[in-house]
Structure formats: C-alpha cells, structure tokens
C-alpha cells in the first residue's frame, strides 16, 4: 500500500504519515487513522487523514509491526 488510494485506508488502520511541517525532511509519524479528509478516490501525494491523537498528514504507507485495530 502506498497511501494514494482512498479505498485502502479505513479508520482504525495503523499508518505512517508525513505532517505538513515535515514534508521537506520526509520524517514520518505513526498513528491510528481516525478520519479520512481527502474526498477523492486517489491522490498522488497520499490520502490526507486525521490520526486519533489529532495530527493531520498524508498517508505514506502502513506502520510496520502493528495490526489493523
């Protein structure tokens, strides 16, 4: 999963995102998806989500070693 297809991302999924302020460095943040914010079925830079802790960013892939809640 590359995080570009909305159908692959569901609430409760453990993912890695890039926050807006981390776009230059590429630093990834892990968390659990709470809400999907991108409405389109595909986005080239990743589907935008809100994590359970309130952080917002674009999905880059699944978080390694974690299961789907």
| Distance, CA of 33 to CA of 17 (rounded, Å) | 10
- Note whether 20 and 13 are within 8 A (CB): no
Q: Hey, what are 54's tokens?
A: 């309130």
- Note whether 66 and 15 are within 8 A (CB): no
pLDDT tens, the chain, 69 aa long: 899 999 999 999 999 999 999 999 999 999 999 999 999 999 999 999 999 999 999 999 999 754 444
DSSP letters for 34-59: EEE---SSB-TT--EEEETTS-EEEE
């Amino acid at each position: 999963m590359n995080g570009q297809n909305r159908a692959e991302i569901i609430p409760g999924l453990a993912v890695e995102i890039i926050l807006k302020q981390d776009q230059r460095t590429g630093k990834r943040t892990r968390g659990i998806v709470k809400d999907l914010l991108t409405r389109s079925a595909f986005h080239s830079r990743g589907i935008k989500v809100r994590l359970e802790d309130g952080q917002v960013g674009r999905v880059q892939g699944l978080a390694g070693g974690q299961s789907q809640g």
